[in-house]
Structure 1
Amino acid sequence: MKKYLPKSSLILGIGSLLYFFLYPQDAHAMHIMEGMLPPKWCIFWFAVSAPFFIYGIIRMKKIVVSSQQNARIMLALCGAFVFVLSSLKMPSVTGSCSHPTGVGLGTVMFGPGVMSVLGVIVLLFQALLLAHGGLTTLGANCFSMTIVGPFVGFGVYKLCRAFKVNRSVSLFLCAVLADWSTYVTTSFQLAVVFPDPNTGVGGAIIKFLGIYAVTQIPLAIAEGLLTVIVYNLVISNNLWKETALS
């Protein structure tokens, strides 16, 4: 007879695992820090991100009022997962840093739209309480981490499942590519503001990606593995169904 972990033990285990990643470090500011982007680019990224945020609000409202068991608890878990993992900072490009994003878990469970809302909450808390990121750069950080990342990851996950790829492998690729696409986007966002004097925006993107790759590749792989572990724990203990809200 198959035995399941008590919910309290599961929550304690996940909490302990996540606390390990939140061990205090010197802050170097997450993503693009306050003052790094000119006002016109701050406004631009806010405008681009706004429609996705509105869609996420509508999508989240439907989830909250749905009859799906543990929907609110799982939303909170996904938000906490993003907060904790994106607080693990490693200095990378000047004025920025590398870290896991944590968006793969919520993307698979609720779809990419919801992550734009959870991401804004996380980024606001980190900017206001932890001095990570910034308020003027909130739109840019939201676009890279909680819009591009989740949509890329979701597309990868759905494609893998359509080709009958193992669930864990699909989830791993979702988390890894959501993470990598975030930093491709961040590199572009920095490159258009700080182009290379000789090679322009294209050369700057290559340089930024080259610097990020040193820290981001192993971080993304570690994030993918952790995401698979947490998701499988949730599913195996009947806290969520793979087909929920699909």
Structure 2
Amino acid sequence: MTTTDVAMHMSDGIVNAPTSLIFGVISIVIVGYAAVRARADLDDRTAPMAGLVTAFVFAVQMINFPILPGASGHLLGGALVAILVGPWVGTLCITIVLVVQALLFADGGLTALGTNVFNMAIIGVFVGWGVARALRGLARRSRGRLLATAFVAAFVNTVVASLGFVLQYAIGGAAGATTGTVFALMVGFHALIGIGEGVITAATVGAVAAVRPDLVHLLRTAPRDAPATAVRGEGSSA
């Protein structure tokens, strides 16, 4: 049986040229702005972390995990990078991964690169960050709650990012399927992928926080009256 990768690396021809062009321009503008904003988050401590996170996401995206018989998915990484290095740097991390994959591994079409960046590096990262930031007070109370926050943020970012794909297909779909069918398949599959995404994200964030909580952007940018070291123990509270 052939296994199908249903994660969101859109190939060439799924949407028409005008739609690809529009989202390509939007992605260039937002990623360019992210590059400007990211300067404030990068220093001698965080820059190496950003490089490690980019390499980790690239490596893990090459590994598929089964979600249903004949279908598999892989990490998108939006919430993971947002929690560890922040949304602006995280957007750059995922963009770099997608560009390298498209150019060197033909994973995602070149004409679809803008749409893929929009879905995974922009929607995925900022939705993941929005959820994590909303739950930041909870995340700082204990290690278990930090893991739960990471899981929820990753799950939600995966499902919402898939809606970006649906939106693009609704605007200029060229593959012959109805928008309703694409919606059902994308949301259904990515709800399952989101579970795997949540587990990987929670495990990775938990591992970093256990050793160096000061390197977790979500904790480092929290209010001053809640010390980052609170996540080291289940019983600690802010």
| Matched letter for residue 24 of structure 2 | F
Q: Secondary structure at the match of 2:99?
A: helix
Q: State how far apart, in whole Å, the 1-side matches of 2:185 and 2:6 are.
A: 20
Checking the alignment, whether the CA contact within 8 Å between 1:46 and 1:138 is kept in structure 2 is yes
Q: Secondary structure at the match of 1:208?
A: helix
Aligned to 2:168: 189
Which range moved further: 37-46 or 182-191?
182-191
Checking the alignment, whether the CA contact within 8 Å between 2:162 and 2:190 is kept in structure 1 is yes
Checking the alignment, whether the CA contact within 8 Å between 1:105 and 1:231 is kept in structure 2 is no
Aligned to 1:125: 100
* Equivalent of residue 173 in structure 1, options 121, 130, 152: 152
Closer, same or farther: CA 105–230 of 1 in aligned 2, 3 Å: farther
How far apart are 1:216 and its partner, in Å? 1.4
Calculate percent identity across the aligned residue pairs: 26
Aligned ranges for residues 31-70 of structure 1 at < 5 Å? 31-64=9-42, 66=43, 69-70=44-45
Checking the alignment, whether the CA contact within 8 Å between 2:132 and 2:153 is kept in structure 1 is yes
Aligned to 2:113: 138
Q: State how far apart, in whole Å, the 1-side matches of 2:150 and 2:7 are.
A: 28
Closer, same or farther: CA 233–217 of 1 in aligned 2, 3 Å: same
TM-score, scaled relative to structure 1: 0.71
Q: State how far apart, in whole Å, the 1-side matches of 2:65 and 2:80 are.
A: 22
* Equivalent of residue 82 in structure 1, options 33, 54, 57: 57
Aligned ranges for residues 88-127 of structure 1 at < 5 Å? 88-89=63-64, 98-127=73-102
Gaps of 5+ in 1: 1-24
Aligned to 1:149: 124
Q: Secondary structure at the match of 2:212?
A: helix
Closer, same or farther: CA 151–119 of 1 in aligned 2, 3 Å: same
Q: State how far apart, in whole Å, the 2-side matches of 1:186 and 1:234 are.
A: 37
How far apart are 1:140 and its partner, in Å? 0.5
Gaps of 5+ in 2: 224-238
- Give deviations 1:81-125, integer Å, cap 9, x for gaps: 221232234699xxx973211222320233212222222211111
Which range moved further: 33-42 or 141-150?
33-42
Q: State how far apart, in whole Å, the 1-side matches of 2:39 and 2:187 are.
A: 37
Aligned to 1:201: 179
How far apart are 1:150 and its partner, in Å? 1.3
Closer, same or farther: CA 231–182 of 1 in aligned 2, 3 Å: farther
Closer, same or farther: CA 208–109 of 1 in aligned 2, 3 Å: closer
Closer, same or farther: CA 90–36 of 1 in aligned 2, 3 Å: farther
Q: State how far apart, in whole Å, the 1-side matches of 2:156 and 2:133 are.
A: 13
Q: CA RMSD in A?
A: 3.5
Closer, same or farther: CA 52–104 of 1 in aligned 2, 3 Å: same
Q: State how far apart, in whole Å, the 1-side matches of 2:171 and 2:153 are.
A: 27
Q: State how far apart, in whole Å, the 1-side matches of 2:173 and 2:72 are.
A: 16
How far apart are 1:144 and its partner, in Å? 0.6
Indicate whether 1:216 and 2:193 are aligned: yes
| Matched letter for residue 224 of structure 1 | T
Checking the alignment, whether the CA contact within 8 Å between 1:195 and 1:204 is kept in structure 2 is no
